[in-house]
Amino acid sequence: MQTTLKSSASFSGTGLHTGRVVRMTINPASAEYGIWFRRTDVEGRDDLVPARWDAVTDTQLNTRIENADGVSVSTIEHVMAALAGCGVHNALIEIDGPEVPLLDGSAKAFVSAILARGLRRLDAPVRAIRVLKPVTVRNGEAHATLMPSDVLRIDFHIEFADAAIGQQTKSLSMANGAFVRELCDSRTFCRKSDIDAMREKGLIVGGSVTSAVVVDGDRVVTPGGMRHTDEPVRHKMLDALGDLSLAGAPILGRYVGHRAGHAMTNRLLRALFAEPDAYELVECDERTAARLPGAGVSLADRAGIAA
């Protein structure tokens, strides 16, 4: 059955790119509502923005969605990953600014709050998007593919010149609470050499070494180092789940990303939905629903999350 939160969860923090302090609340919603953002600071325009693939308008270092009135919310990927990874299908996210707070650069705080409040089952079946044939998008050496699978599996490969990252590869089924245990505490990362250039462009003004993994050659600049030896590729997988959740329903398929990012994942969803014979919408029976991300997740799954 579809789910929502049992009660609201609130957060306050700074946006990575805007540097603005914002307050955000994830509220319960009814069956078939889906995930929507509401800009509480907006007046005189439509303040509701759908968390959907066709509302994405910018993918430079984050995912931004926008409605027809030009009202937008950016850096939504971490909270979207948390909702998907905890099995939340319906929620209204109220926010008093243009960007989701970065917090520690991962989805950990969102996941912890969602699991602490618990989920309420709703009187409506879960529908999933079943991938029927491979769909691929490319950009130079980077590429991403969705292919058939009876469970959402994410395979990711990254390559960076900095020895602190290097080449990393990881493959993980998103069933049975894997996102909560394996990915949700992995933070966004960047190269120290890129920070000044990004700030000159007005980006990451709200970032710091405490809200991201910063590397410089073979050194990890961030105090305490990495939470996992392969934290960067885990974070890329976290981002991929958040961006894939904009499909509007859980995906039954295998995602393979090679040097991919927000732009490529959104292009992949657009390519999938442009081919009607590449997918089908299915009503999940009990067995299928048990394989979806977040199914059966409980507070006990938080035990392995980094403090």
Catalytic residues, which ones? 262
Phi, psi of 180 (to 5 degrees): -65, -45
| Strand segments (E) across 7-141 | 9-14, 21-28, 35-39, 48-50, 56-58, 64-66, 72-73, 91-95, 119-121, 127-131, 135-139
d(CA 191, CA 196): 10
- Which pair of tokens denotes residue 270? 């657009």
- Which pair of tokens denotes residue 62? 């984050």
Kindly give the pairing relationship between strand 219-220 and strand 135-139. Answer: unpaired
- Residue 166's nearest CA partner among 188, 191, 194 is 191
d(CA 296, CA 300): 11
**What is the side-by-side strand order in the sheet with 189-191?**
189-191, 213-216, 219-220
d(CA 306, CA 303): 8
The number of beta carbons lying within 10 Å of the beta carbon of residue 285 is 10
283, β-bridge pairs: 127
* Residues 47, 93 contacting (CB under 8 angstroms): no
- Residue 183's nearest CA partner among 221, 203, 153 is 153
